[in-house]
Amino acid sequence: MKIKKALISVSDKTGITELAKALKKFNIEIISTGGTKKVLEEAGIEVTDISYVTGNPEAFGGRMKTISFNIESALLFDREKDAEEAAKLGIKPIDLVVCNLYPFEKVMKEGANFETLIENIDIGGPTMIRAAAKNFKYVNVLTDISDYEQFIKEVEQGVGTTSYNYRKELMAKAFNHTADYDAIIAQVMDAQIDKLSFRLNFKEGKALRYGENSHQKAHFFRMKEAENTYHNMNILNGKELSFNNILDISGAVNSVKDLSGVACAVVKHSNPCGLAQGKNQRQVLETAWQGDPISAFGSIIAFNTTLKLETVEFFELTNEDKSKRKFIEVIIASKIEKEALEYLQNHKNLRVIEYDISKLPEYKDLRFINGTLLSQDIDNKLYEKLECVTETEFDTEKNKAIVEFGLNAIKNIKSNAIAIVREKNGTYHLTGMGAGQPNRLISTELALEKTRDFIRQDFKGEEKDFDNFYENEIKDAILISDAFFPFSDNVEFAAEKGITKIVQPGGSIRDKSVIKTCNALGVSMIFTGLRHFKH
């Protein structure tokens, strides 16, 4: 069926004259209202006033324009079953609705008062859109300016008609448009009566191979209007991403996004098992890898700077001795040099991703739990203070940068979390971490065990001399805790293993006892005043 009559009533007039001119080429009559009619007529486009169809004038300052028996009937009647009845009633079909709604969200974001918000609630627009969408078998509905160009192509290709499948796509988009519109209004109006509600729209869902485990189905969605999401990652090589890959990518990106200079994170099961920050990218990667070379097998690696060939050659992907090739699942950077990409493509399954880490958006941290939703702000603050609370002094000015590096690491490690960091040859690095333990002392033990393994990799002397080497290397390391120490056991164990500097938030009822232990052992301690739990 050819499109013979179109109803155009839009708040945003962008592109509307071009669309109307294209419709006129197919002798389509255009019905319009108020401001839209004025814009079209000023462009020399012949328009039928809406009142000619409704039989009534626009009224009440524009609140009543399109809502009428004639308009809704012209959109809703079944062109086959109801044709005879429509003819008796004098109803002539409208085959196309072009409508975008009053800018409620725009004026809301601009801080409009309540009265202005109310006036920007569209009534007639959603009614037309829903009527046209319901009757999509015969009626086209356009709600998105970005669809105008493709619609014109469809009409031209169909010589004045569109396909059923295309109208079906427009129908789905129309119902999403009105649903989003009503959701925003409902949320704002709930706030007016001090009632919290939360509505989000996710789209472009795609199936993943499976979830965390092979028996779990999984999907991946993008939040409407969100920009630079993980859904927009540019995959340059390798297999499709899995559910676990995406979680680990988030952990890796979050670990490097706030670090200055050149940074690299090696992530396994969402935790950075290796993290380094310095000036030379290859050196930073090697140092991060050294954090836990065994766990780095099958890891996700993120960089905050352009990835270079010299750096990726570290993975030895072309080594004839396959045992020396380093296996990783994903490598991600804001930009990847052509030569580096070509080298990485030697591993056909390795996912190589370009993603602009610098533009990572910050939304609420949401957790959906069995029909309930938790919402919180992103953890984007490192500390409230850097206060030395012990007799043994801690030079906060000298150590500020390495402490900030350590706090960035700890807020990306699952609680209970302990991280041990140090600076060597101009590079800050994570030497060991303990994550996800119900007992903080076990996390401390794990972090120090990994630190000993890290330092052993630098040892070139006789085994009997290692303890002296370790003692010298550990003396400048700093232990960072994500939360306060409830007992002195962590301090005692850490001091026994050579730790002399500790950073923790403080706030325990036993702080005085912990500080007393530090003083007795010659350990300096900093309170930050800010906890970094990550569950």
Catalytic residues: 134, 269
Residue 471: DSSP 8-state: H
Cα(355)–Cα(304) distance, integer angstroms:
10
Residue 26: what residue type? F
CB atoms within 10 A of CB 320: 7
| Angle 436-437-439 from CA coordinates, rounded to 5° | 150
Burial letters for 50-66: b for 16+ Cβ neighbours within 10 Å, e otherwise?
A: beebbeeebeeeeeebb
> CB of 503 within 8 A of CB of 483?
no
**What interhelical angle do 148-157 and 16-24 show, nearest 10?**
10
Tokens of 240: 């499709």
The dihedral of CA 153, 157, 161, 166: what is its sign?
negative
Instruction: Reply yes or no: is the peptide bond before residue 416 cis, omega within 30 of 0.
Output: yes
Contacts 24+ apart (CB under 8 A), 514-520: 514/485, 514/487, 514/488, 515/389, 515/390, 516/488, 517/488, 517/491, 517/492, 518/390, 518/392, 518/491, 519/390, 519/391, 519/392
Cα(149)–Cα(290) distance, integer angstroms:
54
Cα(380)–Cα(407) distance, integer angstroms:
11
| Angle 59-65-71 from CA coordinates, rounded to 5° | 140
Tokens of 45: 């486009």
Cα(72)–Cα(130) distance, integer angstroms:
10
Nearest to 402 by CA among 304, 478, 472: 478
Cα(420)–Cα(302) distance, integer angstroms:
20
Nearest to 284 by CA among 267, 257, 265: 265
Tokens of 403: 């402490």
> CB of 231 within 8 A of CB of 363?
no
C-alpha to C-alpha distances, 448 to 161, 367, 403, nearest whole angstrom: 72, 32, 17
> CB of 260 within 8 A of CB of 360?
no
Provide Rg for the chain, Cα atoms. 31
Strands across the sheet containing 5-10: 48-49, 29-32, 5-10, 96-100, 140-142
